[in-house]
Amino acid sequence: MKKSIKPIALCALLFLFTIATFAQNKSKEIEQLLSKYNEYGQFNGSALVAENGKVIFKKGFGSANFEWNIPNQPDTKFRLGSISKQFTALLIVKLAEEGKLKLDVPITTYLPDYPKENGNKITTHHLLTHTSGIPNYTSSPNFFKDKSRNPYTPEEFVKTFSSLPLEFTPGEKFNYSNSGYFLLGYIIEKVTGKTYEQNLQEVIFTPLKMQNSGYDHSDLITKNRAAGYEKNGKEIVNAAYLDMSIPYAAGSLYSTVEDLYLWDQALYTNKLLSEKSMESLFKPYISAGRAFYGYGWFVEDFDNGDKGKLKVVGHGGGINGFNTIISRIPADKNLIVILNNTGGTVLGEMNDAIRAILYNKPFNQPKKSLALDLLDVYVAKGAVAGTEMYKKLKNDPNYAIKEGDINRVGYQLLQSGKKKEAIEVFKINVETFPKSGNVYDSLGEAYLADGDKKLAIANYSKSVELDPSNEGGKKVLEEITKQQTK
């Protein structure tokens, strides 16, 4: 006589079956979502989603190389941009844990040649939290034109910004600065006597078996590396060259969605750091707009309705030809990684939608970006025709006005000399996103380029009012005011 399945065992089997079914349904929903973004020209890359620590979705979309029509895959390597900062932060905290450096002493302790007037006021903690006051080197005038293609040693490049006046008293406030994380890489080298790249390999990548991650070098042959592209309207073009010595510890790493899952899983353990040191990475040290900043991570809350708020730690990245995001909800061991190789796009929007799927929440379906169609009209037919097209399509339910896309189109027009058209495009963002300081900053820049200082001042002033951390806008206002008083 055959033994019947015990009720408890049967319930367990049904429970596991139900969980698997839910995961499959969510995976299917995520695939449909990202496929639509791909269809609308807003996603070209790879994505991975884990729920309760288990991967429920991973897939590539579009092309890793458009010339050869090579598809993106889960093992395609992408440049990470600022996601690199979380690796730099861990290396620093590791050195602190080992007693090789302190986070609360002046950086001149480790960089004796750094100008003491500023260096004696700045600590490693300030660098980690973007509270040093050091100007962001990528925001300097003509940075991409004058410096971004040239190779530098860390020592040489530090000298390009180390003597600049501080934008504020260290520790006073948050202002995102790649310069701070560049300095962290240099400190790592000085303290260990090894290159930043060697430290990454020995401390993180080798122990975690992240075999598809590393410091990117343009001259080396790297298997499965995606090429970087930008969008010129609907046209895909090759991204501008960037010497990878420039982003350095602020943004020079490459990885895959699969390797970033290994990284995510290690952060739940003590393989790399003690529990106390690991927790220090994710503390909300300083307000950074709608989120807070830890050590290499933004920290914010996700409202899960009746179940309360959940802590989200994540970071985005942008570097020539690439746009990236990693988002973790530690309480549920949920992970979203999206890596894109066609320049800036709406990864935040995609991330929010995927998170909604994971938590069975409603979300906005993908829509075509109005900006792309508008660009063609503004270029071919001018400002009046472009604005008429905008009025015609702005209420069309198939289109969405996306701040980042509109901003990129405005700058494409501005850089090609179409100042009047650029002004009209930036005005669309101001009308649609009146609480965003960035949109007024862009419109102010366009008015200034067109010679209208009065409207430039008005818009820069509004930008600074909405976003007090806009140090660049403040500088432009000071310069215009000086010119008018001469």
Last residue of a domain, one of 293, 326, 358: 358
Fill in the amino acid letter for 37.
Y
Of 319, 337, 358, which one is at a domain's C-terminal end? 358
Is the pLDDT at 13 greater than 80? The verdict is no
pLDDT band at 339 (very low <50, low <70, confident <90, very high): very high
Q: Clarify whether residues 343 and 428 are in a common domain.
A: no
d(CA 472, CA 479): 11
Per residue in 295-318, is it b (16+ CB within 10 Å) or e — as a string? bbbbbbebeeeeeeebebbbbbbb
Shared domain check, 403 and 301: no
The predicted pLDDT at position 349 comes to 95
* Residue 185: inside a domain: yes
In a domain, 2, yes or no: no
With contact defined as beta carbons under 8 Å apart, do 278 and 262 qualify?
A: no
Same domain (yes/no): 340, 395: no
Q: How far apart are CA 226 and CA 242, in angstroms?
A: 15
Per DSSP, the residues of 23-51 read HHHHHHHHHHHHHHHHHTTS--EEEEEEE
Using only C-alpha atoms, the chain has a radius of gyration, in whole angstroms, of 24
Our count of domains for the chain comes to 2
For the stretch 433-456, pLDDT in tens is 999 999 999 999 999 999 999 999
Return the pLDDT at 23.
75
Q: What is the mean pLDDT of residues 348-375?
A: 93
Angle among Cα 438, 337, 330 to the nearest 5 degrees reads: 95
Q: Does 40 map to a domain? A: no
Query: What gap in Å lies between CA 426 and CA 433, rounded to an integer?
Result: 10
Residue 291 has pLDDT above 50, yes or no: yes
Residue with the bigger pLDDT between 13 and 107: it is 107
Choose one of 305, 337, 358: the last residue of a domain: 358
Average pLDDT, the chain: 93
In percent, how much of the chain has pLDDT > 70? 95
For 184, list phi and psi in degrees, rounded to 5. Answer: -60, -40
3-state helix, strand, coil in the chain (%, to 5): 45, 15, 35
With tokens 């040649």, the residue in question is 113
| CATH number of the structural domain spanning residue 398 | 1.25.40.10
Q: Which residue is associated with the tokens 């080197």?
A: 137
Residues 123 and 272 both lie in one domain: yes
Q: 248 CB contacts (<8 Å, ≥6 apart)?
A: 154, 157, 182, 185, 196
Per-residue model confidence as pLDDT tens digits over 293-315: 999 999 999 988 878 899 999 99
In percent, the amount of the chain with pLDDT more than 90 equals: 82
Per-residue pLDDT tens over the stretch 215-231: 999 999 999 999 999 98
* CATH number for position 347: 3.40.710.10
Domain span holding position 149: 81-358
Q: Compute the residue count for the chain.
A: 486
CA distance 427 to 378: 14
Q: For residue range 393-422, what is the model confidence (pLDDT) as tens digits?
A: 989 999 999 898 899 899 989 988 999 999
Tokens 């189109």, residue?
A: 409
Residue 46 lies in a domain: no
Residue 432 resides in a domain: yes
Question: What is the structure's pLDDT at 1?
Answer: 46
Nearest to 29 by CA among 52, 47, 53: 47
- Backbone angles phi and psi of 54, in degrees to 5: -110, 135
Residues 177 and 315 both lie in one domain: yes
112 and 227 within one domain:
yes
Query: Can you tell me which residue has the tokens 């709608």?
Result: 290
C-beta atoms surrounding 261 within 10 Å? 21
**How sure is the predictor about 213, in pLDDT bands with cuts at 50, 70 and 90?**
very high
